[in-house]
Amino acid sequence: MTDPREPEYVDQVDLTRGRPVRLQQVSDQRYLAIMPWGQLHSIVPDPRQAEMPRMRQYLSAAQREQAELRNEIQRTIQGTKKKANAKDYARYIAEGLRGSRGERWATPPFALWLPGDMDIVRFRTPFGDDLLAYMPFDATGVLVDAETQHLAHILLQEDPAAYGLTKGQVSQRLVSVEIYHQISLRGARQIFHDRNLLGVIPNKNVALASDSSNLATDITFALLENVVLPASTGDKETSLSLVVSARPRQLKATDTEWMTLSSFRAFVVTAIFGRSGFDKTSGPISDLPEGCTPELAKQYIGAAAELIFSSFAKHFERRTETVIAAPAMLAALGAVTHRSMPWSPEPRRSPEALIELLSEVEWARNPKIWDGTVGKATTDARTGLPTLSLAGGVKDSGSRTAAALEDPASPRYGQIRGYVQSTVVAQATT
Q: What is the dihedral of CA 332, 334, 339, 344, to 10 degrees?
A: -120
pLDDT at 430: 37
Per DSSP, the residues of 157-189 read HHSGGGGT--HHHHHT-EEEEEEEES--HHHHH
Phi/psi-derived region of residue 144, left when phi > 0, alpha when psi is between -120 and 50, beta in every other case: alpha
Q: Is 258 helix (H, G, I), strand (E, B) or coil?
A: coil
pLDDT at 426: 45
Crossing angle of helices 294-311 and 327-338, in 10° steps, is 120
The one-letter code for the residue type at 118 is M
Please name the residue ranges forming H helices in 276-393: 294-311, 313-317, 327-338, 351-359, 367-370
pLDDT at 196: 77
Phi/psi-derived region of residue 170, left when phi > 0, alpha when psi is between -120 and 50, beta in every other case: alpha
Q: What is the DSSP letter of 213?
A: T
353-385: buried (b, 16+ CB within 10 Å) or exposed (e) per residue?
ebbeebeebbbbbbbbbbbbbbbbbeeeeeeee
CA distance 277 to 266: 8
Is beta strand 119-125 parallel, antiparallel or unpaired with respect to 128-135?
antiparallel
Those residues with Cβ within 8 angstroms of residue 175's Cβ, 6 or more apart along the chain or in another chain = 34, 35, 36, 37, 40, 107, 109, 110
Q: Is 293 helix (H, G, I), strand (E, B) or coil?
A: coil
Q: What is the DSSP letter of 325?
A: T
Per DSSP, the residues of 90-114 read HHHHHHHHHTTTTT----PPEEEEE
pLDDT at 1: 44
Per DSSP, the residues of 337-369 read HHTTSTTSPSSP--HHHHHHHHHT---B--HHH
Phi first, then psi, for residue 113 (nearest 5°) are: -100, 120
**Cβ-contact 35, 178 below 8 angstroms:** no
pLDDT at 250: 80
Closest CA to 264 of 334, 211, 212: 334
CB atoms within 10 A of CB 28: 11
CB atoms within 10 A of CB 95: 18
Q: Model-level pTM?
A: 0.64
Query: Does the N-terminal peptide bond of residue 160 adopt cis geometry, omega within 30 degrees of 0?
Result: no
Which residue stretches of the chain have pLDDT < 70?
Answer: 1-6, 199-213, 231-236, 247-248, 392, 420-430
Phi first, then psi, for residue 228 (nearest 5°) are: -115, 150
pLDDT at 384: 80
- On the 0-12 / 13-18 / 19+ scale of CB atoms within 10 A, 236 is exposed
